[in-house]
Amino acid sequence: MELGIARLPRWSRWTLLVALAALFSLGFRAAGIPGASLMGPMLAGILVSVAGATLRLPRPLYVGAQGMVGTLIATIVTPAILHSFMDDWPLILLAVFATLAASSVLGWLMSFWRVLPGTTAIWGSAPGGASAMVVMAEAFGADVRMVALMQYTRVACVVASAALIAHWLAVAPPPPAPWFPAIEPLGLANALVLTLGGAWLGRIVRIPAGPILLPLLVGSVLHSAGLLELQLPQWLTAVGFGAIGCQIGLGFTRPALAQAARVMPKILLSVVVLIALCAAMSLGLAKVLGLDPLTAYLAMSPGGIDSVAVIGAASGADMSFVMALQTMRMLVVVLVGPPLSRALARGLDRRDRAAAP
């Protein structure tokens, strides 16, 4: 099989990759699996890579996809979320840093016990936007394949638990988001300029993870202030997520897959522990602020912001509070993650040097 695919013309291998990516993405979406637009192409990339198709995405396409992730996060930061944050900012920040501390400790322990190397476990445990963490982890030297595995395992578990709790509270299932909404020309044009211009400038100025950070920060400030209209239709973001998924999948090898299978039980255990800790903290948050249990649980859920938003919108939860806490945590993780990761990595390096003969 490996020789057969390796002998195919390059265009045939690309066609096979794109066809499999689209097939898996649509299949995952129909099955309700979160992150389908990234997970499907990632699986396709793994299959063709292991089968011997030596392909790599053009760098400009991958950089543009990173910029799209940054712009997509910026579209979430609205004036309503900003107002909700200002109303309860001390408790929101406390909840944000409590979740970040819990996830960092779990990630550090996995690195300390050598479940995964270096800062990979730390980035994989970070409770921010999964796609943003995957992109930033690569910029800071982590094993992006294992980070993606950890992040999307957690997202799947978070979404499953949120859906079960919503069902237990007799909440109607969320309606599917439209793939082809009415296009707002100005919003789409602004988003494309911010995505491509920000990604290009972020790479030129050589800021760590600049292609995602620059569109995210500039877009968040302008969009939350009501100065910039942004629109990214789902079919377009699917292309960006697909490019990132293919890039990750094409980096997998058979030894990497064997490693993933070995560490999966420990990854699942860390995910369950983090979800349980966040659920316990949500009880305290509900009591202090007088929130209903579902709103508090969704607000504290460690990741899967888009899926949590859909479930919350269909459940009648206080979405301004849910999105304020989720968005603030994602921004804090994006900004604090790099220095925190470096600090924890230095501690692990000192441990390894001290243990060396």
DSSP string spanning 251-308?
T--HHHHHHHHHHHHHHHHHHHHHHHHHHHHHHHHHHHHT--HHHHHHHH--S-HHHH
Q: What integer pLDDT is reported at residue 272 of this predicted model? A: 92
CA-only gyration radius of the chain, Å: 20
Question: What is the residue whose two structure tokens read 């992040």?
Answer: 151
Residue 215 has pLDDT above 80, yes or no: yes
Flag whether pLDDT at 173 surpasses 60.
no
The residue among 295 and 169 whose pLDDT is bigger is 295
Average pLDDT over residues 197-205: 88
- Report the Cα–Cα distance between both ends of the chain, in Å, rounded: 45
**What pTM, to 2 d.p., does this model score?**
0.74
Report which secondary-structure segment, H or E, holds 25.
helix 10-30
Q: With 90 as the cut, is the pLDDT of residue 309 above it? A: no
Separation in Å, CA 341 to CA 141, 226, 325: 10, 33, 22
pLDDT at position 277 over 90: yes
Mean pLDDT for the chain overall: 81
- 195 vs 190: CA distance, rounded Å: 8
Query: Within 10 A of 97 (CB to CB), how many other CB atoms are there?
Result: 14
**Mind listing the pLDDT tens digit for each residue in 33-89?**
767 888 889 889 888 888 877 888 888 888 898 888 888 878 877 777 777 778 788
Q: Does residue 210 have a pLDDT over 70? A: yes
What's the pLDDT score for residue 73?
Answer: 77
How far, in Å, CA of 77 to CA of 350, rounded? 39
- The whole-number pLDDT of residue 191 equals 93
pLDDT (mean) for 340-350: 69
The pLDDT assigned to 315 comes to: 64
- The pLDDT assigned to 311 comes to 66
Confidence of residue 107 (pLDDT cuts 50, 70, 90): confident
Residue 336 token pair: 């604090």
CA distances from 222 to 74, 76, 87 (A): 9, 12, 21
Query: In the chain, what is the greatest distance between 2 CA atoms, to the nearest angstrom?
Result: 65
Amino acid, res. 47: L
Average pLDDT estimate for 104-126: 83
**Which pLDDT score, from 0 to 100, does residue 1 have?**
44
pLDDT score at 280: 92
- Say how many C-beta atoms besides its own lie within 10 A of residue 29's C-beta: 18
Nearest CA-CA partner of 71 in 238, 223, 244: 223
Most trustworthy range by pLDDT among 112-126, 129-143, 228-242: 228-242
